[in-house]
């Protein structure tokens, strides 16, 4: 079932379908591996809702990571092969640590993970794009992830200060037209829009936010992103006076050509300490 939300036509606006969760009394969950027999991979009901998604390029210099929760930057990389795990860890991780530190003023940045998403022919073993509105961390799982990744004494010391989880999202090939990234202005969201959802790993239990529909949401995207462009996404901030969570999702751009190459992207996950 689809739901349409009336949007006044304007330049740079497309109608896109956003998968929103329908809140219920039951906490939703997702498995990161094949679930036990009889259990679905994911629970929860999602509803495709047609909303206006604006071209953010004309406003790119206005977006602020601490206000809207995301920012577009032109930052080339020295990487020759963004599929090469060794090169990613030896070259790209340090690049992204420097980038996030420079853009945020953080005194320390740690890259702890990355994900490649692609459906390109010949590329197997990679994840596909996520097509549900979500945010990677919650009020609970943000601090817990610091504890998971760092020694206990160091984690507790750092948790006393400000810290933020910031993802760096980049096309592997451009211009990226197939299922671009949509981002919701954090100032247009309320606490009631976020629905805590269990993320079940083999060795631990994580928690993310699914996102419920709110007609006040303001969605943006950056069409035709190039390989030398990145989007910074604030997925958690311990400071309640700044953007704390940024809903995001892949969506089908109705303006994309029918023969657009399959989306290929890489996202780096960082913790910034201040």
pLDDT at position 119 is 82
Burial of residue 169 (CB within 10 Å: 0-12, 13-18, 19+) is: buried
pLDDT at position 11 is 62
Q: Which domains does the chain have, with CATH numbers?
A: 2-273 (2.60.120)
Question: ∠ at Cα 136 (131, 140), nearest 5°?
Answer: 140
Q: How far apart are CA 54 and CA 194, in angstroms?
A: 22
pLDDT at position 127 is 83
User: Which residue reads 């010949």 in tokens?
Assistant: 122
pLDDT at position 126 is 82
pLDDT at position 121 is 78
> Does residue 265 sit in helix, strand or coil?
strand
**Residue of 100, 121, 5, 91 whose CA lies nearest to 52:** 5
Show the tokens assigned to 179.
Answer: 């299922």
- State which residues of the chain have pLDDT below 50: 1-9
The answer to whether 2 and 48 have CB atoms below 8 angstroms apart is yes
Structure pTM?
A: 0.92
Give the tens place of pLDDT for each residue, 219-272.
999 999 999 999 999 999 999 999 999 999 999 999 999 999 999 999 999 999
Residues sharing a CB contact under 8 Å with residue 148, sequence separation 6 or more, in sequence order: 204
The answer to whether 272 and 104 have CB atoms below 8 angstroms apart is yes
Question: ∠ at Cα 246 (41, 218), nearest 5°?
Answer: 110
Cβ atoms within 10 Å of 94's Cβ, excluding its own: 13
Q: How far apart are CA 207 and CA 137, in angstroms?
A: 6
User: Which residue reads 């760096």 in tokens?
Assistant: 168
The answer to whether 21 and 212 have CB atoms below 8 angstroms apart is yes
pLDDT at position 9 is 46
In the chain, which residue ranges form alpha helices assigned H by DSSP?
Answer: 85-87, 93-104, 141-149, 152-158
pLDDT at position 40 is 94
Q: How many CA atoms lie within 13 A of 158 on its CB side?
A: 25
The answer to whether 177 and 260 have CB atoms below 8 angstroms apart is yes
**Residue of 95, 269, 36 whose CA lies nearest to 168:** 269
């Amino acid at each position: 079932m689809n739901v349409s939300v009336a949007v006044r036509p304007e330049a740079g606006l497309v109608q896109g379908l956003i998968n929103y969760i329908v809140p219920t009394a039951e906490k939703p969950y997702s498995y990161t591996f094949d679930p036990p027999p009889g259990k679905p991979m994911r629970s929860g009901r999602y509803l495709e809702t047609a909303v206006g998604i604006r071209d953010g390029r004309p406003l790119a210099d206005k977006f602020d990571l601490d206000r809207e929760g995301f920012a577009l930057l032109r930052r080339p990389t020295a990487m020759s092969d963004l599929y090469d795990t060794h090169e990613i860890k030896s070259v790209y991780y340090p690049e992204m640590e420097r980038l996030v530190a420079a853009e945020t003023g953080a005194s320390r940045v740690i890259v702890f993970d990355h994900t490649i998403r692609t459906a390109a022919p010949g590329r197997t073993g990679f994840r596909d794009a996520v097509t549900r509105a979500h945010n990677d961390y919650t009020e609970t799982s943000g601090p817990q992830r610091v504890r998971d990744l760092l020694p206990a004494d160091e984690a507790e010391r750092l948790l006393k200060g400000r810290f933020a989880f910031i993802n760096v999202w980049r096309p592997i090939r451009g211009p990226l037209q197939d299922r671009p990234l949509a981002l919701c202005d954090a100032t247009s969201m309320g606490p009631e829009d976020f629905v805590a959802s269990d993320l079940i790993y083999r060795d631990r239990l994580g928690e993310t936010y699914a996102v419920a529909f709110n007609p006040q949401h303001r969605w943006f995207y950056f069409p035709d992103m190039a390989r030398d462009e990145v989007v910074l996404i604030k997925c958690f901030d311990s400071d309640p006076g700044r953007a704390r969570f940024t809903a995001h999702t892949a969506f089908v751009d109705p303006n994309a050509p029918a023969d657009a190459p399959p989306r290929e992207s890489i996202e780096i996950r960082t913790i910034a300490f201040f």
